[in-house]
């Protein structure tokens, strides 16, 4: 096993429990320090997970032993924290999205490239058994050539459960930038590069009322589209529909398998890309019933598998899967939906996308390949 990579965490909000709770399963990762604008919260998380150092947000970058900054801040801070990481000579792995628009995402990629440092970015759910099993079925020709797809992320929003949901309705938030990364990352891994995008976007509910604690009753102005629908044409020929919305209730689709891929020889039901290990079913054109496909990839992973893969890649000098290039391709497509809505025309991707290497099957839990 290569020497562990020390990680410093910036931002210990709600999502941090998922990262810190899972990271202990990967010996390649050592959580060495935490920092947050709320020092009491940072200390609480450090105590909870046995992390030895607590810093201010400025001081964590001064620790020379830290090689990766795990950036769990709100979307508008992803690139600023990323640039500080690069300036300090550290790699950075961020929560999604990579940035709030193409320009700042590109700025981060350029800075990292110049400094010869790595940028990684969530989501890493595509590395789980669900999407990897579906990808193998497609690659093996189980449903023939993919020709169509549907993908639906439909819900009423997050103000009923999240303690601080305001950022979901700021620029860089909304259903496309919040949940779109899961769906688009999965679709790119399943179907390859996109050719063009057409979209329509609106602010369906201009004002939200928080009903969760501790901000119950606070009004939130919606500053970014909360309902987006559109189509994607892939280079391989598949065309389909993607809807992301915070403006609907009681959706009729199966939330466990919100993506369906239609091929010339069959149909594939893909699990929720916001999870790692959902069910996969497919049906050949002459089948009377759906077939359940047992997972042949490691199950039980959670958030931090992408971070661990990047740490392992640093030590073994190979590409990491949840890469900046993939995250930028997703950011590019998300922006394309909004641009298409504004301009009333199809938008072509600005970069060429290359699928990351598939996950190896049947590895011992907690280990990663070279």
**Tokens at residue 142, please?**
């189980």
Give one word for 309, left, alpha or beta, with left for phi > 0 and alpha for psi -120 to 50: alpha
Give the separation between CA 67 and CA 90, rounded to whole angstroms: 5
pLDDT at 363: 77
pLDDT at 135: 98
The yes-or-no verdict on residue 362 having pLDDT over 80 is no
The yes-or-no verdict on residue 366 having pLDDT over 80 is no
Taking only the tens place, the pLDDT of each residue in 159-198 is 999 999 999 999 989 999 999 999 999 999 999 999 999 9
In the chain, the percentage of residues whose pLDDT exceeds 70 is 100
The verdict on 114 and 144 lying in the same domain is no
Q: What is the CATH number of the domain that holds 33?
A: 3.40.50.720
The verdict on 222 and 152 lying in the same domain is yes
Contact predicate 122/19, CB 8 Å? no
Task: Reduce the DSSP state of residue 69 to 3 states and report it.
Answer: strand
Residues 204-242: b if buried by 16+ CB within 10 A, e if exposed = eeeebebeeeebeeeebebebbbbbbbbbbbeeebebeb
Taking only the tens place, the pLDDT of each residue in 308-337 is 999 999 999 999 999 999 999 999 999 999
Q: Are strands 227-234 and 239-245 parallel, antiparallel or unpaired?
A: antiparallel
**Average pLDDT over the chain, rounded to whole?**
96
Residue 368 lies in a domain: no
The residues, any chain, with a CB within 8 Å of residue 231's CB and separated by 6 or more, are 197, 198, 199, 239, 240, 241, 242
280, HSE (Cβ side, Cα atoms, 13 Å): 24
pLDDT at 367: 79
Q: What mean pLDDT is predicted for residues 277-289?
A: 96
The verdict on 161 and 216 lying in the same domain is yes
Residue 359 lies in a domain: no
Residue 370 lies in a domain: no
Gyration radius of the chain over CA positions: 20
The verdict on 15 and 114 lying in the same domain is yes
Residue 64 lies in a domain: yes
Q: Are strands 119-121 and 29-35 parallel, antiparallel or unpaired?
A: unpaired
The verdict on 96 and 150 lying in the same domain is no
Q: What mean pLDDT is predicted for residues 58-71?
A: 98
The verdict on 190 and 213 lying in the same domain is yes
The verdict on 163 and 254 lying in the same domain is yes
Give the separation between CA 81 and CA 241, rounded to whole angstroms: 34
Q: What mean pLDDT is predicted for residues 78-105?
A: 97
The verdict on 190 and 68 lying in the same domain is no
Taking only the tens place, the pLDDT of each residue in 213-240 is 999 999 999 999 999 999 999 999 999 9
The yes-or-no verdict on residue 370 having pLDDT over 70 is no
Residue 87: asked if its preceding bond is cis (omega within 30°), the reply is no
Q: What mean pLDDT is predicted for residues 99-104?
A: 95
Residue 288 lies in a domain: yes
Residue 83 lies in a domain: yes
The verdict on 83 and 73 lying in the same domain is yes
The residues, any chain, with a CB within 8 Å of residue 32's CB and separated by 6 or more, are 6, 7, 8, 51, 52, 53, 63, 65, 66
Number of domains forming the structure of the chain:
2
Q: What is the CATH number of the domain that holds 266?
A: 3.30.360.10
The verdict on 134 and 251 lying in the same domain is yes
Which of the four pLDDT bands, split at 50, 70 and 90, describes residue 369? confident
The verdict on 87 and 133 lying in the same domain is no
pLDDT at 253: 72
Which of the four pLDDT bands, split at 50, 70 and 90, describes residue 247? very high
Contact predicate 95/74, CB 8 Å? no
Q: What is the dihedral of CA 107, 108, 111, 113, to 10 degrees?
A: -110
The residues that bridge with 230 in the sheet, in sequence order, are 199, 242
The yes-or-no verdict on residue 365 having pLDDT over 80 is no
Which of the four pLDDT bands, split at 50, 70 and 90, describes residue 1? confident
What 8-state DSSP symbol labels residue 127?
G
Q: What mean pLDDT is predicted for residues 4-15?
A: 96
Domain that holds residue 59: 5-124+302-321
Taking only the tens place, the pLDDT of each residue in 173-184 is 999 999 999 999
Q: Are strands 266-270 and 281-284 parallel, antiparallel or unpaired?
A: antiparallel
Give the separation between CA 283 and CA 248, rounded to whole angstroms: 30
Q: What mean pLDDT is predicted for residues 285-293?
A: 96
The verdict on 277 and 219 lying in the same domain is yes
């Amino acid at each position: 096993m290569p020497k562990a990579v020390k990680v410093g965490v910036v931002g210990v909000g709600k999502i941090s429990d998922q990262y810190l709770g899972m990271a202990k399963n990967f010996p390649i990762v050592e959580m060495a320090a935490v920092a947050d604008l709320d020092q009491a919260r940072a200390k609480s998380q450090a105590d909870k997970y046995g992390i030895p150092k607590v810093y201010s947000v400025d001081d964590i970058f001064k620790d020379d032993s830290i090689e990766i900054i795990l950036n769990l801040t709100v979307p508008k801070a992803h690139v600023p924290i990323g640039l500080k990481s690069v300036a300090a000579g550290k790699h950075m792995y961020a929560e999604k999205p990579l940035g709030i628009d193409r320009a700042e995402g590109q700025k981060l990629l350029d800075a990292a490239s110049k400094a010869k440092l790595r940028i990684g970015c969530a989501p890493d759910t595509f590395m789980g058994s669900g999407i990897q099993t579906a990808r193998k079925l497609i690659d093996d020709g189980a449903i023939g050539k993919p020709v169509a797809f549907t993908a639906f992320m439909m819900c009423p929003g997050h103000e009923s459960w999240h303690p601080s949901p305001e950022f979901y309705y700021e620029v860089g938030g909304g259903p496309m930038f919040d949940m779109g990364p899961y769906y688009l990352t999965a679709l790119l891994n399943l179907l390859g590069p996109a050719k063009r995008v057409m979209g329509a976007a609106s602010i369906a509910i201009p004002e939200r009322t928080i009903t969760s604690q501790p901000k119950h009753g606070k009004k939130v102005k919606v500053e970014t589209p909360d309902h987006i629908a559109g189509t994607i044409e892939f280079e391989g020929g598949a065309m389909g529909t993607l809807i992301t919305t915070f403006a609907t209730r009681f959706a009729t689709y199966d939330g466990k398998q919100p993506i369906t891929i239609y091929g010339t020889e069959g149909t594939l039901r893909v699990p929720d890309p916001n999870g790692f290990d959902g069910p996969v079913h497919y049906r050949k054109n002459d089948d009377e019933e759906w077939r359940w496909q047992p997972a042949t990839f490691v199950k039980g992973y959670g958030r931090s598998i992408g971070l661990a893969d990047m740490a392992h890649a640093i030590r073994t000098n190979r590409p990491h899967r949840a890469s900046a290039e993939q995250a930028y391709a997703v950011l590019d497509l998300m922006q394309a939906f909004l641009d298409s809505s504004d301009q009333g025309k199809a938008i072509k991707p600005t970069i060429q996308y290359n699928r990351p290497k598939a996950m190896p099957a049947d590895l011992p839990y907690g280990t990663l390949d070279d």
